[in-house]
Amino acid sequence: MNFTQGFEQSNTTQRLIAFWTHAIDKFALSMETVPFDDELDETYVTADVMQRTGASTEDAYLGTVRAGFHMAIQALPDEVKRTVEKYMTERLALVRKLVPDEILDADVLLGTNDPFA
């Protein structure tokens, strides 16, 4: 199967699983390859973006980003969600071998702690 066939002939479940596993890999890879430098963790969110989301600060905006990431996964069809959650667990186990726990735990998307605490 080539790219065009994959694009045209895959079903909804295949497309969603492919997208989410690819996205998780991209997020994980950025943590694995970017130096662990606080300055690189900073994002530059415009006032327009914050206004659109209702966030009053950059910290609040990034908290909203994490919440949206989790909501998007929870809204997936059950078959897709199970596969994506399993893949994320497996992928994060690999990340933990390369990235210090304090860096991973504070990651805006994949972490579990407040990155600004």
pLDDT at 44: 65
Residues 6+ apart with CB under 8 A from 58: 43, 45, 50
* C-alpha to C-alpha distance for 55 and 63, rounded to whole angstroms: 9
The per-residue pLDDT for range 40-83, each reduced to its tens digit, is 445 567 788 888 889 888 888 889 999 999 999 999 999 999 99
Q: What are the structural domain ranges in the chain? A: 12-105
Mean of the pLDDT values across residues 76-105?
Answer: 94
pLDDT at 95: 93
What percent of the chain is predicted at pLDDT more than 70? 91
pLDDT at 40: 43
pTM of the model: 0.82
